[in-house]
Amino acid sequence: MTSRFLIGAATLVSVSAIIAVSAKAGRADPNPTAIAAPGDYRFSFRHGGMERFYLIHVPRSYRPGRPTPMLLALHGGGGSADYQANDAKYRLISKSEQAGFIAVFPNGFSRFGGKLATWNAGTCCAGAVRNQVDDVGFIRAVIHRVERQANIDPRRVFATGMSNGAMMSWRLACEAPEIRAIAPVEGTDNTTHCTPPHPVPVIQFHAIDDEMVAFNGGPGPSSFTKVNFTSVPATQAKWIALNRADPKPVRVLTVPGAHCDLHRGPAPVELCVTDSGGHSWPGGGTQQFR
């Protein structure tokens, strides 16, 4: 069960010893420090008048002469890049080592030194939305920086996220041409306008009993924000239409407590549903806010 979710999410990725490498305060660094060796790194730069940062995990298999896939992993509302990079909770570093991709963990908008951060994913969440933070621009800047820091294959730049981070991945699919596929977990598409620059394959993960982002939409009974979230079925229908995928699904996985349905097409849309688990990362940990 866990392996299906991690493998499926890894067309889709723990941070051990963080190497602090920061851009000069007060301005963006047009030439960020190059990464020549595997390891864990922290970088910061100015964007939108604010100091923003991101973490990178480079797997042991990385070779500077070989283009490497990149996965952006976006934390949930009230979380942080450090929380999302915790391998005991999300296992993305382990997956990075297994599959050989570079894992990048951007940090959302925060007034608390990076903690309790949120993303401006459209209608959610919190301070990032209230302040109309340019998170699409920030994440695109992160992508372009990492492409200058390491040998990234631009045809294999993917995004996943938990909760508010999942919602942000939908927005990136709508607005960021660099993104080639997404794997949102426990978060629906709450964008009001979506014109993807190209078809974006999707594999979405959601629990029937999610109490924060309810499967059938509306404000979840345990939601702090009380946002009227889009339902999973409506999100799927939207992207089936956008990607011109086959409206008729094919059941591609059935295991006790979960199943996956695939809408085939040049840019397929897949939904994996668990009967239980609530608002959590399958096989991993929960995210504390939304």
User: What pLDDT digit, counting tens, does each position of 79-105 carry?
Assistant: 999 999 999 999 999 999 999 999 999
List CB contacts of 49: < 8 A, sequence separation 6 or more. none
Contact status, residue 90 vs residue 281, Cβ threshold 8 Å: yes
User: How far apart, in whole angstroms, are the C-alpha atoms of residue 24 and residue 103?
Assistant: 23
Q: What is the pLDDT of residues 100-146, one digit of tens each?
A: 999 999 999 999 999 999 999 999 999 999 999 999 999 999 999 99
Indicate the pTM of the whole model.
Answer: 0.89
pLDDT of residue 16 exceeding 50, the answer is: no
pLDDT at residue 21 is higher than 80: no
**CA angle at 220 for the pair 8 and 75, rounded to the nearest 5°:** 45
Q: What is the pLDDT of residues 256-279, one digit of tens each?
A: 999 999 999 999 999 999 999 999
- β 50-58/39-47 pair status: antiparallel
- Go through the domains of the chain in sequence order and give each one's CATH number: 2-274 (3.40.50.1820)
* Among 251, 153, 231, 241, CA closest to 202: 241
